[in-house]
Amino acid sequence: MQDFLQQTLSGQPPAQRQGSNAHLSWQWHDEGILSLTPVQPAQQALVLSAGIHGNETAPVEMLNLLLSPLLRGEKPLAVRLLVILGNPAALRSGKRYQQYDINRLFGGRWQQVADVPEAQRALRLEQALENFWRACREREIRWHLDLHTAIRGSYHTRFGVLPLNTRPWPAAFLHWLAAAKLEALVFHRAPGGTFTHYSCEHHDAASCTLELGKALPFGRNDLSQFHGAQQALAALLYGETLSAVQARPRHYHVTQQITRHGEEFVLHMGPETLNFTAFPQGTLLAEEGETRYYVQQAREYVLFPNPQVAPGLRAGLMLVEETAQQGSRVASPAE
């Protein structure tokens, strides 16, 4: 198999479902699910996922560019690797999703919706991760990087969203995110149905959703915008030297979630509102019936405002920037 993306978009399994070269062996497990095992034992197990939303194509193209030299035997593989294109049907249609947002269905939440292909896909992806992590060697480092682009523009073009984690974040993981030239990191303080929350909660993986620019169709992406992230991923995959950190990301944590419950919901933000737009205390953000959402802190920043989400889903997050004194829980380098 020479081109994982084209093979997945074809809707057909490859004629050969497994193979090897001088550096690795590979196996096609299912549509958009491929594992690669290095010839030399690795100390790290890495899940790279993209295309959870079918209209977010830049990370899919970037991931395929990184994967192709490995499959051709041109680059060594430094990690045990699972590559996932999350929603192939949505990728083929160019839509965010068909019926349900897969990234709200993990952690068994797929059981709470109709038995449609996207619920089945969420279960299949959970099974793929479980099988991959189960094969981990003792003390193998577990990372999961889920690559996305945002619907809206942003004051921080490249940023990461980290799920609720009861353990300190590994220092090496946060260092890698900084080396990938992420401008901001957002730390959740509540559980969710995202792919990265599932891998963190259920499989003890250090996981992060990487938001790399704005969602555009295939062929219209300027991948030079993500050069820092691509270089950092290449270093991780091929065992090359990681670039020096030039600037530390700003840290934010989620202070409240805006949820749309029905047709009366009104979000008081226009379509031009950028991610990380700041609002002063007391600003009315959204309302629905008797429910009002106000800015509660001296200043809060909005993330992912979207009044068009399905009832019951998040229509926006409000953030507070952390001070140097607050910080985020970080493990020592030895951990």
Instruction: Read off the pLDDT of residues 221-260 as tens digits, 9 standing for 90 and up.
Output: 777 778 889 999 999 999 999 999 989 999 999 999 999 9
User: For residues 93, 96, 100 and 103, what is the CA-based torsion angle, rounded to 10 degrees?
Assistant: 130
Tell me the helices (H) and strands (E) count for the chain, helix number first.
Answer: 7, 16
Burial class (CB in 10 A: 0-12, 13-18, 19+), 134: exposed
Gyration radius (Cα) of the chain, Å: 20
Q: 202 among the known binding-site residues?
A: no
Q: What is the pLDDT of residues 287-306, one digit of tens each?
A: 999 999 999 999 999 999 99
Angle subtended by helix axes 117-134 and 195-203, to nearest 10: 40
Question: Residue 317 has which token pair?
Answer: 């997050």
Question: Residue 319 has which token pair?
Answer: 């953030």
Q: 56 among the known binding-site residues?
A: yes
Contact between 168 and 331 (Cβ < 8 Å): yes
Distance between CA atoms of residues 135 and 118, nearest Å: 26
Question: Residue 143 has which token pair?
Answer: 């990372």
Mean pLDDT of 260-273: 94
Phi-psi group of 177: left, alpha or beta (phi > 0 → left; psi -120 to 50 → alpha; rest → beta): alpha
User: Which residues does the annotation mark as catalytic?
Assistant: 211
> Where is pLDDT greater, at 58 or 268?
268
**Where are the CATH 2.40.50.630 domain residues in the chain?**
255-321
Place of tokens 């084209």: 6
CATH number for region 4-238: 3.40.630.10
Mean pLDDT of 51-73: 93
**What is the full DSSP assignment across 221-253?**
--GGGGHHHHHHHHHHHHTPPPPPP-SPPEEEE
Distance between CA atoms of residues 152 and 211, nearest Å: 11
Q: What is the pLDDT of residues 180-215, one digit of tens each?
A: 999 999 999 899 999 999 999 999 999 999 998 776
What is the fold of 255-321?
OB fold (Dihydrolipoamide Acetyltransferase, E2P) (2.40.50)
Residues contacting residue 49 through CB under 8 Å, at least 6 positions apart:
83, 84, 85, 86, 125, 144, 145, 146, 147, 195
Q: 148 among the known binding-site residues?
A: yes
Instruction: Give the three-state DSSP class for 60.
Output: helix
